[in-house]
Amino acid sequence: MPSFPSSLDRTQDADGNSMQHHRLAELRAFGQSIGFRIDNSTDISPSTGSGFDSNSGGQAGTVNLSLLSQFDALRQVLTTTDLTSSEILTQEKSPMADTSPRTDTSTVDTDDKRLEGGSGAMTLSNSSGSKEKNLDQKTLRRLAQNREAARKSRLRKKAYVQQLESSKLKLAQLEQELQRARQQGIFISGSADQSHAMSGNGAMTFDIEYARWLEEQNKQINELRAAVNAHAGDTDLRSIVEGIMAHYDEIFRLKGIAAKADVFHILSGMWKTPAERCFLWLGGFRSSELLKLLATQLEPLTEQQQLGLANLQQSSQQAEDALSQGMEALQQSLAETLAASLAPSGSSGNVANYMGQMAMAMGKLGTLESFLREADNLRQQTLQQMIRILTTRQSARALLSIHDYFSRLRALSSLWLARPRE
């Protein structure tokens, strides 16, 4: 079959009349081949008899309706003389496009592509929505965690403030009780009747006074340490050393007053830390053991100093042995006195014997105060003799070493009490 669009393309730039004559020739040839006769440009119609051969069988049997519609459209185009070749081409292509199955296919393809594009956009939108949802969930989770952390922080702060307020109230109460006790004359004062001021509450009073004494000693030791490190002169060092020695005299005096009120509290060392109590001897340190510790810290020493310290250590050891033997004898005597009253009770004679034995035991216990006083005198005299033997700078080093030794014992006790327990 001839291609109509190609014929029109070849005659697009030619004159209108020559194009029409040429197309008429083609149409006549095509019409004669399929049983139509075209006489002129104004009469295009199928032949009525002579165009179809009755003897030819299938050629005159049927007529292709689509071809007829195409010829009708072409006849209308050819009869219109003022149409241009581009308009003829448009008129000629439009019915073919209507009957072409590719038009529907392309339309379907376009719709399919449009649907695919829409589904892709929906998928992209869904994916972006899911990402935003995940981000929103993470943000909400983080915000919840931040709120929880802030809540816990507020609770801790509130508990800490409450603890501070409670401690402040307790401190105020203790200060009030301390003031009332001072007004009642229970605590130690500077008056002459200090021996009677601690009656009834001597142990607690001594513990408070000892804590104050220890705090003051720490200040004096810090001052002495700073002076030694700054290489201060002997005059300045001697003044600080004398102040520390006077402070030691004060604690011995306080212990003597406390022993009159409760000698067992002083002897047991309950006012000291657990580690210090392990090395306790008659309510304090052993002078001989302290001199042994200082011997290696005070070098170099002259021969006279070494001899003086050795004699002081020996005399201190002898005095300690004597006091220890006296304490052992006292304990033995007390045990015998208490054991003598162990008899079946019931008679008046046994009761009288019991009361007499207890009175004797009470009298012997009274000598404990003298043993404690003698032990403190020995410690005080040992310190004073040591200061006389040593130079001012050596005395300062000795006092620093003594303080550091007992400070380490107190630190050891704190670590022991704070140890993890299974």
pLDDT band at 76 (very low <50, low <70, confident <90, very high): low
Does 351 score more than 70 pLDDT?
yes
Q: What value does the mean pLDDT take over residues 144-171?
A: 85
Lowest mean pLDDT segment, chosen from 34-48, 245-259, 332-346, 355-369:
34-48
Q: What pLDDT was estimated at residue 363?
A: 86
pLDDT band at 378 (very low <50, low <70, confident <90, very high): very high
Domains of the chain by residue range: 4-51+63-99, 109-184, 196-417
Q: Please state, for a pLDDT cut of 70, what percent of the chain lies above it.
A: 59
Q: What value does the mean pLDDT take over residues 379-406?
A: 94
pLDDT band at 96 (very low <50, low <70, confident <90, very high): very low
Higher pLDDT, 53 or 179: 179
Q: Please state, for a pLDDT cut of 90, what percent of the chain lies above it.
A: 36
Dist. CA 99–CA 186, nearest whole Å? 127
Give 225-254 pLDDT, tens digit per residue: 999 999 999 999 999 999 999 999 999 999
Residues 6+ apart with CB under 8 A from 394: 298, 301, 305
Query: Is the Cα dihedral 369, 375, 378, 379 positive or negative?
Result: negative
Q: What pLDDT was estimated at residue 402?
A: 95
Q: What pLDDT was estimated at residue 345?
A: 52
Q: What pLDDT was estimated at residue 230?
A: 94
Helices marked H in 272-302: 274-278, 287-295
Higher pLDDT, 104 or 130: 130
Give 104-114 pLDDT, tens digit per residue: 444 444 544 44
Q: What pLDDT was estimated at residue 36?
A: 46
Dist. CA 151–CA 155, nearest whole Å? 6
Q: What value does the mean pLDDT take over residues 265-289?
A: 91
Q: Nearest Cα to 228, choosing from 218, 215, 238?
A: 238
Does 15 score more than 90 pLDDT?
no
Most confidently predicted of 87-91, 169-173, 236-240, 331-335: 236-240
pLDDT band at 179 (very low <50, low <70, confident <90, very high): low
pLDDT band at 417 (very low <50, low <70, confident <90, very high): confident
Q: What pLDDT was estimated at residue 326?
A: 93
Contacts 24+ apart (CB under 8 A), 255-259: 255/206, 255/283, 255/284, 255/372, 255/376, 256/373, 256/376, 257/188, 257/194, 257/195, 257/197, 257/198, 257/202, 257/206, 258/198, 258/202, 258/203, 258/205, 258/206, 259/283, 259/369, 259/372, 259/373
Host H or E run for residue 40: strand 36-40
CB-based contact 371:330 (threshold 8 Å): yes
Dist. CA 255–CA 271, nearest whole Å? 11
Q: Which three-class secondary structure state does DSSP give residue 178?
A: helix
Helices marked H in 80-100: 85-99
Dist. CA 406–CA 412, nearest whole Å? 10
Instruction: Report the mean per-residue pLDDT for the chain.
Output: 73
Q: What value does the mean pLDDT take over residues 362-384?
A: 92
Does 388 score more than 80 pLDDT?
yes
Does 191 score more than 80 pLDDT?
no
Q: What pLDDT was estimated at residue 66?
A: 52
Lowest mean pLDDT segment, chosen from 141-145, 166-170, 360-364:
166-170
Does 14 score more than 80 pLDDT?
no
Both tokens of 64, joined, read 């292709």
Both tokens of 127, joined, read 């994916």
Does 123 score more than 80 pLDDT?
no
3-state helix, strand, coil in the chain (%, to 5): 80, 5, 20
Residues 6+ apart with CB under 8 A from 413: 273, 274, 275, 276
Give 282-328 pLDDT, tens digit per residue: 999 999 999 998 888 887 889 999 999 999 999 999 999 999 999 99
pTM: 0.53
Q: What pLDDT was estimated at residue 134?
A: 72
Q: Nearest Cα to 255, choosing from 285, 230, 235, 275?
A: 285
